[in-house]
Each structure stands twice: as structure tokens, then as C-alpha cells.
Amino acid sequence: MNFEFTEEQSMIQQMAKDFAESEIAPTAVERDQSCEFPTDIIKKMGELGLMGMMVSPDYGGAGMDTISYVLAMTEISKVDASVGVIMSVNNSLVTWGLETYGSEFIKQKYLVPLAKGEKLGAFCLSEPEAGSDATNQHTYAVKDGDGWLINGIKNWITNGTSADYYIVIAQTDREKAHKGITAFIVEKGTPGFEHGKKEDKLGIRSSDTCSLTFTNCKVPSENIIWEEGKGFNFAMNTLNGGRIGIASQALGVALASFEASVKYAKQRKSFGTEISNHQAIQFKLADMATKYEAAKALTLRAAALKDAHVSYVKESAMAKLYASKVAVENALEAIQIHGGYGYVREYLVERYLRDAKITEIYEGTSEIQKVVIARSLLSGK
């Protein structure tokens, strides 16, 4: 067991940190209020290789490992969790699946521009009646000549208005339940495909989330990912890696809360001394740092297993379950340490709490992570 990062991993971490501080931080507060999508930032991240980090250079990616991805995602999300989720969806939910399961046609046409950051992707599984119960797909695709006609509604789609390419999960054979679900790529602008208005969210406000409507939307048969009937397995396998991305996003928020608390505690005085000299504050800081390190260890372990090509289903669920809980707890403690100042917009910590909460909900709620972990434990897998 080796707890040291390689030189390359440390360099990527430093590069992401420098980029986040110089290019993302200056507009983060403003975008949280305006909900403006960080188009220019995402473009620059593409040029740095941050949008297709784990994709092979043969397909336009940076060819890095999952550990590097965790480190970069944490640094970006520490400064702005909105940018973090845009990066996570493109890397874990879109490019990974296309490289792993896509045909050569799909890789050349869609993966290469997505991995280079020239195009942006979205992953469309959730529906009004299919959130946690993801097999309950109502979106339906029927064969029509040389293609498929898709009808239905998708909900809560990250990058929903800004993406160029959408991975859409749809039922293609109701008789076969989850074995009759198929994954398609749909291009923005395809007739019959429309997005709704951006949701007005509590947190991660400069990422765009919306619903999508498909009305007799025709996609060619070669846009099927993997094969007909494999769409649910595709989505589940993809989400295992997605959960490492969201755990990393949560780590970023947890770390930001801790660092802001240390800084404030060393400046703020009460009872004639800096509040960092009070044991009540020291205990909070000790708990925050310990929980962060434990969450980081779980996340890096899941990433290491993924890099070693062994099962990481249970470990990625544990990482997301725990890191998201720590993100919320650390953000709450940061507000408590800041007192009244923590409750107002002038200080950053109230945003950390708003941003942290979603990590317990998307890419599988905490309750779903426990289902995944328990099933894995009980089946011995």
C-alpha cells in the first residue's frame, strides 16, 4: 500500500488548483447569484484536458488515471461546485461510457469532441416517475426504418440546456423490463427534441439543470450505445464511476468549509483571544479534518480499484455516501464557527452548505447508496 501520489498526479492536482484559483474563483460568487453558465471556463478546461481526463489520447482525451481525476475534481469543486458537476458529468457519465461501450463510429463522431472539451455532454436517465426507481422508464423508443423514434420526458438533467450531445436512456421493449432498456445518443437540434427552462436551484446555481422533451425524435440506429437491451446495465455501470466524481465534488466542498473555518478562527476574537484558542472551536476543526481525511481515503480507494480494473461498485457507493454527508456536516460547522457572519452572503460558507446538499441527492441518493452497499455485502460481491 502506497499513500504517496505520483509526480504526475501531484502536478495535475497543482494545475487544477492554480486554474481554479485564477480562472474560476473570481466569478464564482457572481455566477452563484446570476446562475450564468460558465461557458468560457469550461472551454478553457477542455483545452487543459480536464473535460476528458480519463479518455485515451487516441480519442482526444488526456489519458490520466482516476486518482488524478479525484484530485482535480476536488480542487475545482473546492472553488466552485457548479463547475465541478459540469466537469464530473462530462468525464464520468458521458465520456467514460462512450469509450467503454461505444462503437468506433460513436467514438470518432461523439467521444473525440467531447473528450477534447469542444462539445459538452449530458446523461439522461431520470424521469418524473423514475428517480431512485430508475428501471421505471416511461421514455419509449420504437424502431422506425433505419432509426428509432423517441418519445418521453427526462428530468433534472445536468448540462441540460448547454450540452451538445445527450445520452438518453429509453425503454425499447416493455415486456423485458430492465432488459428492454436501450441507451441512445441524441444531438442537440434534432427535430422533436426540446429542453425546458433552467431550474431555479438552492445550490450549484451556475450549472444548468432542466427537463427534456422528446416528441417523435428520430435518431439513427448507429447511435445506440453498446447494444439494444443493454441500456440499464450501461447506466448502472456508468453511475458507479459517476459516484466517484460526486464524492470528489463533495470532498472539494468539505475542504473549502474546513479551510474557511481555520482562516476565520485565527482572525476572529472573543473573550480576549482568537476563537481558534477555544477548545470548542478546536474540537470542531479536529472533527472536520478527520472526517474529510476519512472521506478522501474512501474516495481514493474506489478510484484505485477502478484503475486496477477490479469491482468498485460497493466502494464508490460508500465514498459518495460518506463524502456527501461530510460535505453537508462540514458546511454546517463552518457556518456555526462563523456565527452570524456564516449566515449571510458576504461570506462564502452559506454557499458551501447550499452546494453540499445536492451531493446527497443526485447520482443516487444516500438511501440508494445504502441499498447498493447492502446488496453488495449480502451477495458477497
Q: Dihedral sign for Cα 242, 244, 248, 254, please.
A: positive
The span from the CA of 104 to the CA of 102, in Å, is 7
Of the candidates 127, 333, 350, 363, the residue annotated as catalytic is: 363
123 binds ligand CAA (CB under 6 A): yes
Q: Quick one: 328 or 335, whose CB is closer to ligand CAA?
A: 328
Count the Cβ atoms, other than its own, within 10 Å of residue 179. Answer: 13
126 binds ligand CAA (CB under 6 A): yes
Q: Please list every residue from 320 through 379 that binds ligand CAA, using CB under 6 A.
A: 362-364, 368, 371-372
User: Could you give phi then psi for residue 330, rounded to 5 degrees?
Assistant: -65, -40
Q: Which of 51, 89, 298, 348 binds ligand CAA (CB under 6 A)?
A: 89
Determine what percent of the chain falls in helix, strand and coil, rounding each to the nearest 5.
60, 15, 25
| DSSP letter assigned to residue 133 | S
Q: Please list every residue from 184 through 213 that binds ligand CAA, using CB under 6 A.
A: none
290 binds ligand CAA (CB under 6 A): no
Q: Which of 74, 162, 206, 240 binds ligand CAA (CB under 6 A)?
A: 240
Listed in order, strand segments (DSSP E) in the chain are: 121-124, 140-144, 147-158, 165-171, 181-187, 193-195, 209-220, 224-225, 269-270, 273-274
Count the Cβ atoms, other than its own, within 10 Å of residue 144. Answer: 13
**Rounded least distance, CB 87 to ligand CAA, Å:** 11
Contacting range for ligand CAA; rule: CB under 6 A; set: 56-64, 75-83, 137-145, 230-238 = 230-238
The span from the CA of 6 to the CA of 166, in Å, is 35
**Rounded least distance, CB 356 to ligand CAA, Å:** 15
10 binds ligand CAA (CB under 6 A): no
**Rounded least distance, CB 78 to ligand CAA, Å:** 19
**Rounded least distance, CB 15 to ligand CAA, Å:** 25
Of 172, 167, 173, the residue nearest 154 (C-alpha): 167
Contacting range for ligand CAA; rule: CB under 6 A; set: 95-103, 122-130, 139-147, 164-172 = 122-130
Count the Cβ atoms, other than its own, within 10 Å of residue 18. Answer: 11
**Rounded least distance, CB 14 to ligand CAA, Å:** 27
* Helix 349-357 with 313-338: angle, nearest 10 deg: 150
Q: Quick one: 238 or 330, whose CB is closer to ligand CAA?
A: 238
Name every residue whose Cβ is closer than 8 Å to that of residue 187 and which is 6 or more positions away in sequence.
Answer: 164, 165, 166
Q: Quick one: 168 or 334, whose CB is closer to ligand CAA?
A: 168
Q: Which of 98, 185, 210, 313 binds ligand CAA (CB under 6 A)?
A: 313
Helix (H) or strand (E) holding 335: helix 313-338
C-beta contacts of 306-309 below 8 A and 24+ residues apart: 306/66, 306/241, 306/244, 307/65, 307/66, 307/67
Q: Quick one: 84 or 342, whose CB is closer to ligand CAA?
A: 84
User: Could you give phi then psi for residue 372, rounded to 5 degrees?
Assistant: -60, -45
260 binds ligand CAA (CB under 6 A): no
The grid coordinates of residue 29 equal 460568487
Q: Is 228 a catalytic residue?
A: no
**Rounded least distance, CB 196 to ligand CAA, Å:** 14
226 binds ligand CAA (CB under 6 A): no
User: What character string, x for contact with ligand CAA (CB under 6 A) and - otherwise, covers 37-76?
Assistant: ----------------------------------------
Residues near ligand CAA (CB under 6 A) are 89, 93, 123, 125-126, 132, 134-135, 157-158, 178, 232-233, 236-237, 239-240, 313, 362-364, 368, 371-372
Question: Would you please indicate which residues are annotated as catalytic (active-site) residues?
Answer: 363
